[in-house]
Chains A and B, each alone.
Chain A
């Protein structure tokens, strides 16, 4: 039964096809190592039905006998035949998922949450700012921008990671860089001299790109400190708070705004987020107790 008051997603965005608390069985069909502790799993539904989601949404993934965790979807929203998740091993459940080999069964509830404003961004310049594994939740929105490039103004993808070895999807990012239609730049916090890319914090990249601040939508995803300073830099460049979107991460359990584990001020991150327009949550950021 659907919990009272549960709200899955905005009308028009994707949500679970059945009861939001009932998982669907999926089989791991591919496992790729991205970094030392981060893996990408391709999943296929056992019932063969396509998986419909909007960029920025997440699923609850259950590792049998271990537990369930919220994981953003990192695959292409235009391809419903395959569900792609990029997972960093930070706890027991995520570590078990990272160990899942092809053939392993997992259970998936979702998709949940508010997505990136991909439709609202059409007609505008778009700046994606990703930090560390934050590139994974942004990837579906970036793929959408690439597939529908003519619908957007300038598109910039700015990516920062701790070291070159910590970068997600390095070959794909390199491929994006080779496209003449996007401004793609990456930086790392530290490197050895054999790294020929930029070194420095990701916020510096925001200063270097050209866009029209009055007609720009920015989507930012990464650890909270990185997002705070990226938002500040975007604001300095003139991007209004109601044009900046961030993806928050909290301890999500039920994913439907019922259990309260992910409550953040008056917001439930699973239900009201994870993507928030910054002007709606800016007042919560300075409160360290939250």
Chain B
């Protein structure tokens, strides 16, 4: 059984949750559990049900896409303190890439059904979570655009 108290203590130490009040932290802790993965494990795979989001507490996670006949392409790595996954917020709640552990990874997993229920039941919690996720999404969108622009291209187009 998950120790709610210890999870809420963990949440208070994570930057992602710094602006949440104690009541909301307790609320969110009810949806959270500690998780651990071995090197090479997939936390989730493309097309799978987006039934959780994760906060990485230890280790690195590679976000990968694959295409037949080619090696998988790592387009981003996430590190301790980073939030992993927001497909759980957007129907049809399916992952759009693979998340693979580069080594031992420990973190917190938040049950999406539980969270969505709480966000619907308490719009203040929903607003706070959206407010926290938006900058993360904005930064990653900017990162994706910069990768698309190809920051390192020179005039000769290479």
Residue pair A189, B72 in contact (C-beta under 8 Å): no
Interface residues of A (CB under 8 A from B): 37, 88, 90-91, 131-132, 160-162, 166, 189-193, 195-204, 208, 222-223, 225-226, 229
> Residue of B at shortest CB range from A187?
B77
| Partner of A199 from B74, B152, B153, B154 at Cβ < 8 Å | B74
Given contacts A192-B71, A193-B72, 9 further A-B contacts (CB under 8 A): A90-B156, A132-B152, A189-B147, A190-B75, A191-B73, A195-B74, A199-B63, A204-B139, A229-B142
Determine the interface band of chain B, counting residues with CB < 8 A from chain A: 20 to 34
- 9 pairs across A/B with beta carbons < 8 Å? A160-B152, A193-B74, A196-B102, A198-B79, A201-B143, A201-B146, A203-B146, A222-B152, A226-B151
| Partner of B62 from A193, A201, A204, A229 at Cβ < 8 Å | A193
Residue pair A189, B155 in contact (C-beta under 8 Å): no
* Contact partners of B76 in chain A: CB under 8 A: 199-200
* Contact partners of B150 in chain A: CB under 8 A: 162, 189
Interface residues of B (CB under 8 A from A): 62-64, 71-77, 79, 100, 102, 139, 142-143, 146-147, 149-156, 158
Residue pair A190, B151 in contact (C-beta under 8 Å): no
Cα of A239 to Cα of B114 in the assembled complex, Å: 41
Residue pair B151, A202 in contact (C-beta under 8 Å): yes
B100, chain A: closest CB distance, angstroms: 7
Cα of A203 to Cα of B144 in the assembled complex, Å: 12
| A192-B73 contact in complex given A199-B62, A203-B146, C-beta closer than 8 Å | yes
* Contact partners of A222 in chain B: CB under 8 A: 151-152
Cα of A37 to Cα of B139 in the assembled complex, Å: 32
* Contact partners of B64 in chain A: CB under 8 A: 193
> Residue of B at shortest CB range from A132?
B152
> Residue of A at shortest CB range from B149?
A225
* Contact partners of A195 in chain B: CB under 8 A: 74
| A131-B151 contact in complex given A193-B64, A193-B100, C-beta closer than 8 Å | yes
Residue pair B74, A192 in contact (C-beta under 8 Å): yes
B88, chain A: closest CB distance, angstroms: 22
Cα of A176 to Cα of B146 in the assembled complex, Å: 27
* Contact partners of B149 in chain A: CB under 8 A: 225
Residue pair B155, A131 in contact (C-beta under 8 Å): no
Residue pair A200, B77 in contact (C-beta under 8 Å): yes
Cα of A165 to Cα of B102 in the assembled complex, Å: 20
* Contact partners of A161 in chain B: CB under 8 A: 152
**Minimum-distance CB pairs A-B, first 6:** A132-B152, A226-B151, A199-B77, A162-B152, A201-B143, A192-B71
